[in-house]
Structure 1
Amino acid sequence: MTNLSSTGDGGTTSLREGASSSVGGRLSARDVVFFVVAAAAPLGFAVGSTPLAIGRGGIGTAGMFLVVGAFLAIFAVGYTAMTRFVPNAGALSSYIAAGLGRPLGLGTAFVAVLAYAIAATGAIGPFAVFASQALTSITGISTPWEPWAFGALAAMGILGVLNVELNIRVLGIIMLVEVAVLVVLATGILAAGGAEGLSLQPFRPDAIVGGEIGVVLLVVFAAFAGFEATALFREEARDPVATVRKATFASIALIAVFQAFVTWAIIEAFGGAAVSVANEKPTEMFTLAAGQYIGAGFAEVITLLVVGSWFASILAFHNATARYLYALGRDRAISPLFARRSARTGSAWIASLSHTAFSAVVLVFCAMQGLDPYLDLFVVGSVPVAVSIPAMEMLTAVAVFAFFWRDRRGVSSWEGLIAPAISALALAAVVYFVLSNIPLFTGREGAINWMLPSINLAVLATGIARALWMRRHRSAAYLSIGHWGER
């Protein structure tokens, strides 16, 4: 995720990663990869989300990570080419503004903020579930989810106002620990031969496309959320073009291969019962495997680390939400109130508190309605995000194609036209499959399955309308759309 660095006197501001100053503004590709992969919370995602894909989409989930990785690698060809010519911090929305126009760019920025906000709030659900499970596992004391959820909410709000963030080194350490734990578990499962002997069936094409492909895509794409953040480190990189390019492809490859490996191992741990276990005990699937193949103590370690992983994800997405609200407020795309900073901490405190208030309303609603923090708050609530991620990437691919169609700017046909066109078509197919399979993912019937994705369209339309109003009434502010972080 990104954060806004600024001078203490309210002067120049820019969107940049807070830890960059700690490494002297000389980030290597490895530094950037550490940040991106760690922010993706590999342990939290594996334990909290992978069972959903297995349960609702089948064992082909393991192979789908590699397929999606290949799609995104093609997408990254045009994306990294674009960073040479649009080097500001808006990432996807800036590229869309450059290729398809400022109104659509601002609309996409609004959708991106919504995605970050929902992701942070939704992550409180699994955090509360795993925290409650951890206490029960260690002490035998059973607690409801609500105290954990509201405790996480309070911690998120306080740390957000205090401008406390996890820098690259801290995230890197957390990521290494998470990866090590998952590697130990996967190795133990595979060394034991799994439940029924090892099989490569999860990587066969018929298994990958044989299940509910839209559901699997919906979950798997979430594992790669944030890989585009590599472009946001351009100013801090030793060699901007080379570093961004290497970090982008490395991040995609690492996430794809690692999550495919871990998912394959957890499927092998239960053999033919993997799908039923994923459906019946999704939040316990990994700890059950850890207890069986490694030991009860290791299962408790996973439970504790998952809690920390989810909180790191909550804080990262909260900070990203606040920083983008700050940037939009500073550029008068939304109320300038969101651009107010604390004189003491430098935090975007109104933006931070606004998201905290949003999360509080959602949690109170869930508690009053007796909703499940995992199946309702996290799973059902994540639908707008799961749709918006591939949709924004699809629009970006189209924007890259349009940008280089008008002027090749010396890039090759593969980088500027062919790869963006292929990825746009592939991502359009992904969006179609995801939308077609939402009922299977949510486990719900009726209007909710079209109302949730429609939130993105409403927010997109609001952003476009705002841009058109700015073009008519605030031309200077309108011209800054797509150039967030350059001032």
Structure 2
Amino acid sequence: MTALNSQDRARAAGGGLSARHAVFFVVAAAAPLGFAVGSTPLALGAGGIGTAGMFLVVGMFLAIFAAGYTAMARFIPDAGAFFSFIAVGIGRPPGLGAAFVAILAYAVAATASIGPFAVFASQATATFLGVGTPWQVWAGVAMAAMGVLGVLNVELNMRVLGLILLVEVALFAVLSVAIIGTGGAEGLSLHAFRPDTIAGGEIGVVLLVVFAAFAGFEATALFREEVRDPEGAIRRATYGAIGAIAIFHAVVTWAIIAAFGDAAAVQVAHDRPTDMFALAAGTHVGAGFADLLVLFVAGNWFASILAFHNATARYLFVLGRDGVIGRVFAARSAKTGAPWVASLSHTLFAAAVLLFCVVRDLDPYLDLFVIGCVPAAVSIPAMELLTACAIFAFFRRDRRGTGLWQGRIAPAISVAALGIIVCLVLTNLPMFTGRTGAINWILPGLNLMVFLAGIARAYWMRTHRPGDYHRIGRWGKE
């Protein structure tokens, strides 16, 4: 396998995007406002104030991972998903297994995100309309809107995502400056960035949440045909996206800790996770700003729901089209061209989960979101570990002119470190879920079961449908 040929380079060279644009789009799609308000308190409450410093540590580590990732991306057609790297580097069976895990992760992430959306939407209506709306109502609204928009093939436009990002950054800039400007509750301190503080909490819990913040940084490779100087731009965009996410979340988390003080911040995050940012905003900026923050957080979570839903439907459609699963999933709407069967299938899945939560009177945040997102959150470092193994194996066979750092050292460091990280995440799950017993192994075990199912399907295809089998790892070429 060789790097992209001259025609590929020429086509890409005509693109109008720069590395800056790619960073902008990727960070916008990561929905930093919704993640910070909805997920960061989980890490603070269980793992302590070292969460702020952990964003920088993980960012530096992923920069090492990116060295091998961007080097191998030059040799992978349509490199935009980890499963393509795994299929090429390790083999098609684990590659298909990774694709199955990706479907599970996206489907669960979209469904679990309905929980925090419903909570913040209910808070917003109570604030602005004076009407107390049960979370179940907003969960139903989100599910219905997700299903309708999916069937209509309405996708989030990058320009809209960019506008949302500008609003998010502006809101957090105002909040952070207000907190830092007043010195916080107990004065400003860099205690959260000390190595002993970062390593002193429940590292597995913090890593699980922090890694989720960086989910999607690898998507910079999707812009290969739209950017000028694709190889250089994708490399700069990948590092830029990692750096932007790391610095943004580190600063915001540090500011929110300062708003309450080191000890009090951990207690508030544990006791009132969904109110933490609103409480800080109300104290340091004003009640009106706190209300505005809650409103935009609700909208941000719906953007995440729709983005994850579209990704789920896309994976199901492609697998159906290539005969990996039932070809009915490849059915398109005659009017809109949308993969309506794939979209409807995920909507029905979400409906079943929500119905279960309602019947069992489960909490939309602590149960639907926290418990529900475990398979997705665990799959992120696990997929990165497999990808690091694939990169190492790929360049071990032939370095293809890459340097020693990119082709050997960086991938080897990534494999060792990610292996340790996955172990820490799995052994610390009870601290994240707040539960004891078998559930802490059943939830991440779903990833393993789905992964093995994908491997088994690949071996079946190799025997019975070799033509379809050899296309594994080259999806997306319609």
**1:482 matched to 2:450:** no
1:232: Cα distance to partner? 1.7
Partner of 1:221: 211
1:227: Cα distance to partner? 0.7
**1:298 matched to 2:261:** no
Paired with 1:239 and 1:467, the residues of 2 have a C-alpha distance of: 36
- The question of whether the paired residues in 1 share the 8 Å contact of 2:89 and 2:391 is answered with yes
For 1:440, what is the secondary structure of its paired residue?
helix
Paired with 1:338 and 1:92, the residues of 2 have a C-alpha distance of: 22
Q: What per-residue deviation string (whole Å, max 9, x for no partner) do you get for residues 438-462 of structure 1?
A: 0010000111000000000000000
Paired with 2:416 and 2:258, the residues of 1 have a C-alpha distance of: 33
Determine what percentage of the aligned residue pairs are the same residue. 69
Paired with 1:366 and 1:45, the residues of 2 have a C-alpha distance of: 22
Partner of 1:373: 364
Q: Structure 1: which 5+ residue stretches go unaligned?
A: 1-23
Paired with 1:31 and 1:330, the residues of 2 have a C-alpha distance of: 31
Which residue of 137, 159, 162 corresponds with 1:169? 159
1:148: Cα distance to partner? 0.1
1:25: Cα distance to partner? 5.1
Paired with 2:416 and 2:30, the residues of 1 have a C-alpha distance of: 26
Partner of 2:24: 34
Which residue of 384, 403, 407 corresponds with 1:416? 407
**1:363 matched to 2:354:** yes
**1:148 matched to 2:138:** yes
**1:239 matched to 2:229:** yes
Q: Structure 2: which 5+ residue stretches go unaligned?
A: 1-13
Paired with 1:90 and 1:264, the residues of 2 have a C-alpha distance of: 32
Partner of 1:404: 395
For 2:247, what is the secondary structure of its paired residue?
helix
- The question of whether the paired residues in 2 share the 8 Å contact of 1:80 and 1:244 is answered with yes
**1:426 matched to 2:431:** no
Where in structure 2 are the equivalents of 1:262-273 lying within 5 Å? 262-271=252-261, 272-273=263-264
Partner of 1:346: 337
Paired with 1:268 and 1:315, the residues of 2 have a C-alpha distance of: 33
**1:194 matched to 2:216:** no
**1:58 matched to 2:37:** no
Counterpart amino acid of residue 287 in structure 1: A
Partner of 1:274: 265
Counterpart amino acid of residue 396 in structure 1: T
Counterpart amino acid of residue 168 in structure 2: E
Partner of 1:118: 108
Paired with 1:426 and 1:373, the residues of 2 have a C-alpha distance of: 34
* Greater mean deviation of Cα atoms: 309-318 or 130-139: 130-139
Which residue of 252, 262, 279 corresponds with 2:242? 252
1:236: Cα distance to partner? 2.2
The root-mean-square deviation of aligned C-alpha atoms, in Å, is 1.0
**1:48 matched to 2:38:** yes
For 1:236, what is the secondary structure of its paired residue?
coil
Q: What per-residue deviation string (whole Å, max 9, x for no partner) do you get for residues 127-152 of structure 1?
A: 00000011112233222110000100
For 1:481, what is the secondary structure of its paired residue?
coil
Paired with 1:233 and 1:343, the residues of 2 have a C-alpha distance of: 29
Partner of 2:456: 465
TM-score in terms of structure 2 length: 0.96
For 1:237, what is the secondary structure of its paired residue?
coil
Paired with 1:108 and 1:211, the residues of 2 have a C-alpha distance of: 31
Counterpart amino acid of residue 170 in structure 2: A
Paired with 2:324 and 2:88, the residues of 1 have a C-alpha distance of: 17
1:40: Cα distance to partner? 0.9
Q: What per-residue deviation string (whole Å, max 9, x for no partner) do you get for residues 220-247 of structure 1?
A: 1110011111112212222221221111
Partner of 2:3: none
Where in structure 2 are the equivalents of 1:75-114 lying within 5 Å? 75-89=65-79, 91-114=81-104
